[in-house]
Amino acid sequence: MPYLEPLLAFPNIKTFNLWSSSVIPSIHDDDLAQFGAAWPRLTSFHVSHLVSRQDIVSSGAVPPTLSGLVDFARRCPHLESFRTPALDAKVFPDKTATLPLGHRLQSISITDSVTLPSPTSRAFSEVARILDCVFPSVVLEDARAKAIKNMKGWDKLTELVKTMRLHREARALGVRIREID
């Protein structure tokens, strides 16, 4: 995003809001890495637009990935709120890059589309594990409420993360939960 490069010279930026009424802002993993390196005090990162869903599909814009989001979060330890039009969760970091970060991110909002692995795949469970492990403070009800209604996979994913959290809390209390088929 060359038109935003001058802002990288300001290391004390805490809030970044980019809103476009006519163009789909294209934020890639490389952009997130640059922003994170330049703005380590960032608490809020919001990118949004007012473009029709049909225009989004035809734009060919490449969304940031879950790997990019995890890297961005590591660079911005104070990040509490993240909003982007799209996220590609089929591209996720390996286990060594997702050690429990305990990140303080509380709000994640994907407003247009999330590309997810099949809900019956191991990759889907791995995406849920990453979200649970790296972002344990995300308010799942808000994440679901802020997503558009046709993102059924996102609903399933947040439900799986919720289940993982309940299991972890039960283990911490010494309670065994029996799996129900």
Q: What is the DSSP string of 24-45?
A: -----HHHHHHHHHH-TT--EE
pLDDT digits (tens, 9 = 90+) for 86-109: 899 999 998 877 767 689 999 999
pLDDT at 180 over 70: no
The residue among 154 and 59 whose pLDDT is bigger is 154
What is the SS3 assignment for 6? helix
Cα 72 from Cα 74, distance rounded (Å): 5
Q: Which domains does the chain have, with CATH numbers?
A: 13-172 (3.80.10)
User: Which pLDDT score, from 0 to 100, does residue 181 have?
Assistant: 44
Q: What integer is the mean pLDDT of 46-55?
A: 74
Residue type, 117: P
pLDDT score, position 49: 84
Instruction: Give pTM, 2 decimals.
Output: 0.88
* b/e map 140-168, b = 16+ CB within 10 Å: beebeeebeeebebbeebbebbeebeeee
Residue 75 pLDDT > 90: yes
